[in-house]
Structure 1
Amino acid sequence: MLYPELFKSLEQVRWNLEKDIPWDQFDASRLTDEQAQTIRMNAITEWSALPATEMFLRDNRGDSDFCAFMSVWFFEEQKHSLVLMEYLRRFRPELVPTEAELHNVRFEFDPAPPLETLMLHFCGEIRLNHWYRCAADWHTEPVIRQIYRTISQDEARHGGAYLRYMKKALVEMGDSARAAFAKIGVLMASARRTEKPLHPTNLHVNQALFPNDTVQSRLPDPEWLERWLDNQIHFDAEWEKKVVDRILHNLSLLFERTFTTVQELNRYRKDIVNRMAVPAQEQQPA
């Protein structure tokens, strides 16, 4: 069981909303209206940890270890929304999200294969870590810069925790886990080939609600994410390469082989799929 160890390790580095955020260093002259609006959108987006947690608990009902870890992940992710809203409450109270706006991103996700969802969120944590680091560089007000750095570190730690559960799945499920992780790894490392940013909050998750079945589509400004990435924080090809390299590096460690390109990972995925297709009797030694 991983939960006790993960709880202890995350508890040791957990930051305090009042003591660890330098609220007294706020400089109003260095916060623009444009920047404040992006903080509002991120606060609402982070609230979607609520429906994601409900999804994880439903789809992993048979895994009490992972579901217990969700208590930690959910707490820390909701605190991200809270700290962004607290920033607005203190310094731009007119922009604090309404309860209705927060509740609008709480909707049911269709059931999905647990292993693929795990890998999807692992990649999502890596991507969000880089988005927030990039956002910290773009912002000019010192308190929000520190907030984005702080929550980006949480996202990196969450990615590490997911990786532990992925390693556990390899031991327990073998090639079926390898195939699932490689499949989503290829998808999430190919974001530069898609029109929209590949992150769990920007993927369709409820067929009955399509096309309003992504978290981003349910924000007050559904077009915000692309504008934030492309025109505001300038999450460019150099940043995207960092995300891809990090995904490939972690999968190299997970699968104990080196992937330097998405193409190499895809070839590995095909090998695993082909190996799984061979009837069990043909795999037995003569």
Structure 2
Amino acid sequence: MLYPEMFRALEAARWNMEKDIPWDQFDASKIAPEHLQTIKMNAITEWSALPATEMFLRDNRDDSDFSAFMSIWFYEEQKHALVLMEYLRRFAPEYLPTEEELHEVRFEFDPAPAMETLMLHFCGEIRLTHWYKAAAEWHQEPVIKFIYETLSKDEARHAGIYLKYMRRAVERVGDSARLAFAKIGVLMANTKTAKALHPTNLHVNKEMYPQDSVQSHLPDPGWLERWLDNQIHFDTIWEGKVVNGILRNLSALLDVPIRSAKDLSQYRKRMASSVG
């Protein structure tokens, strides 16, 4: 089992919201309404770990090890929502999400293949790691800057643990896992289409389409593109870091040289022929 090891690793890295966040360093002169609005949207987006966890537990009923890890992932992601809301509660309570706004992002996700979903969330954690790094650079207010840096480190750790479960899947089921990971990797590493691809803005419930992404249930559904393009300026350099992180880890996982999305696409085609 991986869960006991993962529990110890994340427990050792855990931060305390009351003691480790430098709340006393808040500087009101360095925060503006546009910052506060994005903090609110990030908080609500993090809250969507609730329906994601429900999805993971439903679709991994045969995997108690991974399901147990969800107890940590869910706790830490909800803690991300909470620390962002605590920032707003202390310094800008008028921007604090309502319970209704939080509940709005809780809806059922359609069942999906477990391996593809695992890979999707691995890529999502890499992307969020860099989104939060960019957000920390954009913000100048010391407390929220520290918070985003802290959240980025958490997301990077989560990506590393998802990768361990992916390696376990390759060891257990072989080429079918390799194909699933390559298929999603091609989608997530294609810089022409993947700029903002993250589990929270993908369509996940056919009956609710087109209002079936987490982002579509936010009070401001269009905030993400503005945040990326006009505020944190998540440009091609940042995007390259995301893609390189996905390809580098997949290359090591699959034990083949993968230097570009094209390499990965060719690998996927070979795997499809082999498995098919």
Deviation at 1:194, TM superposition (A): 2.3
- Alignment of 1:5 onto 2:11: no
* 3-state SS in 1 of match to 2:264: helix
Cα offsets for 1:153-179 (capped at 9, x unmatched): 000000000000000000111000000
1:245 corresponds to 2:266: no
| Aligned match of 1:281 | none
Question: Aligned equivalents of 2:195 and 2:29: distance in 1?
Answer: 33
Distance in 1 (CA, whole Å) between partners of 2:256 and 2:266 is 12
| AA partner of residue 13 (structure 2) | V
Instruction: Look up the SS of the partner of 1:193 in the other structure.
Output: coil
Structure 1 or 2, whichever has the larger Rg, is: 1
C-alpha spacing 1:183/1:230, structure 2 compared with 1 (3 Å): same
Q: Find the residue that maps to 2:110 and give its secondary structure.
A: coil
Map 1:249-264 onto structure 2 (within 5 A).
Answer: 249-264=248-263
Measured in 2, the distance between the counterparts of 1:160 and 1:268 equals 22
CA contact (8 A) 2:73 2:158 kept: yes
Runs of 4+ in 1 over 4 A off after TM superposition: none
Quote the residue 1:193 is aligned against.
Answer: 192
TM-score computed with the length of structure 2 as normaliser: 0.99
Whichever residue aligns with residue 62 of structure 2, its letter is G
Note if contact 1:121-1:200 (Cα within 8 Å) is conserved in structure 2. yes
Give the equivalent residue in structure 2 for 1:165. Answer: 165
Q: In 2, Cα distance between the equivalents of 1:62 and 1:53? A: 15
Identify the residue that residue 32 of structure 2 maps to in structure 1. 32
Deviations 1:184-231 (A, max 9, x none): 0010011x3128610000000000000000000000000000110001
In structure 1, runs of 5+ residues without a counterpart are 278-286
Q: Is the 8 A contact 1:182 1:265 kept in 2?
A: yes
Query: Does the 8 Å contact 1:43/1:80 carry over to 2?
Result: yes
Q: Which amino acid is 2:122 matched to?
A: F
Q: CA deviation at 1:118?
A: 0.1
| Aligned residue number for residue 282 of structure 1 | none
> Within 5 Å, which residues of 2 pair with 1:41-60?
41-60=41-60
Who is 1:203 aligned against?
Answer: 202
Which secondary structure state, in structure 1, belongs to the residue aligned with residue 220 of structure 2?
Answer: coil
Counting matched residue pairs gives 276
Q: Sort the Cα spacing of 1:195 and 1:11 in 2 relative to 1 into closer, same or farther, 3 A.
A: closer
Asked if structure 1 preserves the Cα contact closer than 8 Å seen for 2:195 and 2:239, the reply is no
In 1, the alpha carbon distance for the partners of 2:156 and 2:4 equals 19
Tell whether the 8 Å contact from 1:196 to 1:226 is kept in structure 2 after alignment.
Answer: no
Provide TM-score, normalisation by structure 1.
0.96
Native 8 Å contact 2:251 2:258 kept in 1:
yes
- 2-side partners of 1:52 and 1:276: how far apart? 29
**Cα distance change, pair 70–15 in 1 and its aligned pair in 2 (3 A):** same
Amino acid at match of 2:93: P
Matched, 1:214 2:201: no
What's the counterpart of residue 96 of structure 1?
96
- Is 1:232 paired with 2:231? yes
Q: What stretches of structure 2 of length at least 5 have no aligned partner?
A: none
Q: Distance between the aligned counterparts of 2:210 and 2:195, measured in 1?
A: 14
* 1:136 equivalent in structure 2: 136
